[in-house]
C-alpha cells in the first residue's frame, strides 16, 4: 500500500490544473537530451543524470551517471544502455536497474520510458501485461531507489503484473524544461505486480507523447521517483536567453548547469551551457557580473550557505579559466536557502531552488 504521504504528494503533482506560463507537449528523443531525475533520501535529494547519445534507426544509446552518499562513503557509477528501436516501439518491460557487470542492452526492455505500444493501449482504455525490474532481496522502496539511483547489488529480478489506465481526464505535471517551469501532459496508470510472496501496487505517470512516452514519476511501495528537469538542443539557445534576460531584467538563471551531489564539482554535462553563456557574455565585455549560488532547504543553514558560495565560485572559475571571461568582471556570492524560487516541500521545488544566477549592475534596478 502507498503511504499517506506518498498519496498526498502524488495527488498534488497530478492535480496540475493551475495556470502555467507555457505548455510543452513533447520532449524530443534527440542526441544531447539531458534528463535529471530525483529520489528523496535522508541525506538529501539524490539527482541522477541521463544523457542521450546516438539516435539511429537501430535504437538509442543512453549514458547514465550517479553520485550517492552512503554513510561516510560516496558511491558513484557511470553506465551505458542501448535500447533497440523495436523495444522503444513495443517492449512490455521496464528495466532501470544498472549493475557494473551489465552488458549495454537488454532485449525486450526499455530503460527510461515505456514503449509506444504500451502507451497506445493505456490511452485506449485497455489493461496491459507489464514487468518491472528491481533489485532482489531488498524492500521495493530501497530496491527501486537502487534501480534508479545507483544499484550496485547482485541480482536483478522482474515483478510481473498489469498496468491499468487511470480514469480519463486531462492531467498535467510541472517540469523544468530548458530552465523554464512548464506544464507537460501526462498519462496515468495503476500498476499491480507480484514476485514470489511479494505483492506491490504503484502509480505511474508518463509523458503523453506517442513519440517519447518518458517516465516522469513513479510511486511504488511508498517510494517516489520523479523526473525534475529536461534540457534539449533546439529548445531555446541558452546564450540568447541569458543575454536577453540580462539586458531586460539584469538577472538570468543559468540553465543546464549540474553539480555533483552535495558538492561544488561541476559535472561534464554542464559544459555546453557554460560555453553558450560565455559566448553571450563575450558579446557585452563592459558588463560586470555577479555569480549567485542558491540551494534548497535540506541541511543546515550554514552548510547550505557554504555550498552555495562554493558553487558560485566554481561557475566563476569555469567561466574565467576555461572560457576566458575576464576574472575582474566576475564576483561570486552564495545565498544558501534564503532566496527560494518555489516551496521546498516537493522534489521539483527543491530542484528549482538549487540554481545559479548571473546578475549585472543596472542603474536604478535590482
Q: Are 94 and 166 contained in the same domain?
A: yes
The cell numbers describing 58, all together, are: 537501430
**Strand, helix or coil at 120?**
helix
Position 236 scores a pLDDT of 59
Please tell me the number of Cα atoms within 13 Å of 362 on its side-chain side: 13
Q: Are 197 and 306 contained in the same domain?
A: no
Q: Are 243 and 195 contained in the same domain?
A: no
Q: Are 22 and 49 contained in the same domain?
A: yes
d(CA 171, CA 150): 30
How much of the chain exceeds pLDDT 70, in percent?
81
Position 224 scores a pLDDT of 76
Judge residue 290's burial from the number of C-beta atoms within 10 Å of its C-beta, 0-12 exposed, 13-18 middle, 19 or more buried: middle
Position 193 scores a pLDDT of 94
Position 8 scores a pLDDT of 40
In tens, the pLDDT along 55-73 reads: 999 999 999 876 655 555 5
Residue 365 lies in a domain: no
In tens, the pLDDT along 331-349 reads: 999 999 999 998 998 877 8
Q: Are 149 and 200 contained in the same domain?
A: yes
Averaged pLDDT of the chain: 83
Position 146 scores a pLDDT of 47
Q: Are 78 and 139 contained in the same domain?
A: yes
Position 44 scores a pLDDT of 60
Q: Are 267 and 217 contained in the same domain?
A: no
Position 313 scores a pLDDT of 97
> How many structural domains does the chain have?
2
In tens, the pLDDT along 163-196 reads: 999 886 668 988 888 877 789 999 999 999 999 9
Residue 282 lies in a domain: yes
For 315, phi and psi rounded to 5 degrees? -65, -40
The cell numbers describing 270, all together, are: 554542464
User: CA 242 from chain center: how many Å?
Assistant: 21
Q: Are 26 and 140 contained in the same domain?
A: yes
**Residue 245: left if φ>0, alpha if ψ -120 to 50, beta else—which one?**
alpha
Which CATH number goes with the domain that contains 161?
2.40.360
Position 96 scores a pLDDT of 87
Q: Where residue 215 falls among pLDDT bands split at 50, 70, 90?
A: very high
Residue 14 lies in a domain: yes
In tens, the pLDDT along 107-130 reads: 999 999 999 999 999 999 999 999
The cell numbers describing 343, all together, are: 516551496
Q: Are 203 and 247 contained in the same domain?
A: no
Q: Are 218 and 301 contained in the same domain?
A: no
In tens, the pLDDT along 262-320 reads: 889 998 888 878 887 888 888 888 888 999 999 999 889 999 999 999 999 999 999 99
Position 150 scores a pLDDT of 43
Task: Give helix 238-249 / helix 271-282 axis angle, nearest 10°.
Answer: 50
Residue 245 lies in a domain: yes
Position 233 scores a pLDDT of 79
Point out the domain boundary residue: 189, 208, 231.
231
Residue 366 lies in a domain: no
Which helix (DSSP H) or strand (DSSP E) does residue 292 occupy?
A: strand 289-294
User: What is the residue range of 24's domain?
Assistant: 4-231
Point out the domain boundary residue: 231, 260, 276.
231
d(CA 117, CA 164): 14
In tens, the pLDDT along 223-258 reads: 778 898 898 877 656 667 788 888 999 998 887 788
Position 94 scores a pLDDT of 95
In tens, the pLDDT along 5-59 reads: 344 444 344 444 444 558 888 999 999 899 988 876 555 667 788 999 999 999 9
Number of Cβ within 10 Å of residue 14's Cβ equals 18
Q: Are 247 and 202 contained in the same domain?
A: no
Q: Where residue 364 falls among pLDDT bands split at 50, 70, 90?
A: low
d(CA 101, CA 76): 14
Q: pTM higher than 0.85 for the full model?
A: no
The cell numbers describing 176, all together, are: 523544468
Q: Are 215 and 280 contained in the same domain?
A: no
Point out the domain boundary residue: 231, 258, 285.
231
Position 185 scores a pLDDT of 94
Amino acid at each position: 500500500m502507498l503511504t499517506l504521504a506518498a498519496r498526498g504528494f502524488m495527488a498534488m503533482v497530478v492535480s496540475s490544473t493551475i495556470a502555467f506560463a507555457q505548455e510543452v507537449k513533447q520532449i524530443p528523443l534527440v542526441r544531447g537530451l539531458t534528463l535529471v531525475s530525483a529520489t528523496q533520501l535522508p541525506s538529501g535529494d539524490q539527482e541522477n543524470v541521463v544523457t542521450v547519445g546516438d539516435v539511429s534507426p537501430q535504437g538509442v544509446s543512453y549514458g547514465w551517471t550517479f553520485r550517492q552518499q552512503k554513510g561516510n562513503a560516496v558511491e558513484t557509477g557511470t553506465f551505458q544502455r542501448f535500447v533497440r528501436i523495436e523495444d522503444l516501439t513495443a517492449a512490455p518491460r521496464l528495466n532501470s536497474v544498472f549493475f557494473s557487470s551489465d552488458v549495454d542492452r537488454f532485449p525486450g526492455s526499455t530503460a527510461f520510458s515505456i514503449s509506444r505500444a504500451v502507451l497506445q493501449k493505456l490511452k485506449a482504455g485497455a489493461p496491459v501485461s507489464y514487468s518491472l525490474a528491481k533489485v532482489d532481496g531488498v524492500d521495493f522502496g530501497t530496491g527501486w531507489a537502487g534501480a534508479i539511483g545507483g544499484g550496485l547489488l547482485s541480482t536483478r529480478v522482474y515483478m510481473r503484473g498489469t498496468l491499468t489506465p487511470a480514469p480519463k481526464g486531462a492531467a498535467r505535471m510541472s517540469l523544468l524544461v530548458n530552465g523554464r517551469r512548464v506544464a507537460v501532459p501526462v498519462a496515468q496508470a495503476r500498476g499491480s505486480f507480484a514476485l514470489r510472496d511479494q505483492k506491490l501496487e504503484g502509480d505511474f505517470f508518463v509523458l503523453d507523447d506517442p513519440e517519447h512516452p518518458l517516465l516522469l514519476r513513479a510511486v511504488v511501495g511508498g517510494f517516489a521517483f520523479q523526473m525534475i528537469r529536461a534540457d534539449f538542443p533546439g529548445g531555446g539557445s541558452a546564450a540568447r536567453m541569458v543575454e536577453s534576460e540580462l539586458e531586460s531584467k539584469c538577472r538570468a538563471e543559468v540553465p543546464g548547469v549540474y553539480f555533483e551531489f552535495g558538492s561544488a564539482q561541476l559535472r561534464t554535462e554542464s559544459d555546453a551551457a557554460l560555453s553558450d553563456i560565455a559566448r553571450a557574455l563575450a558579446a557585452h565585455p563592459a558588463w560586470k557580473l555577479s555569480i549567485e549560488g542558491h540551494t534548497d532547504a535540506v541541511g543546515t543553514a550554514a552548510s547550505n550557505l557554504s555550498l552555495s558560495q562554493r558553487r558560485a565560485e566554481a561557475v566563476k572559475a569555469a567561466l574565467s579559466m576555461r572560457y576566458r571571461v575576464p576574472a575582474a568582471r566576475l564576483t561570486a556570492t552564495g545565498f544558501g536557502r534564503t532566496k527560494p524560487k518555489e516551496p521546498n516541500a516537493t522534489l521539483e521545488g527543491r530542484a528549482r531552488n538549487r540554481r545559479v544566477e548571473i546578475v549585472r549592475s543596472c542603474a536604478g534596478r535590482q
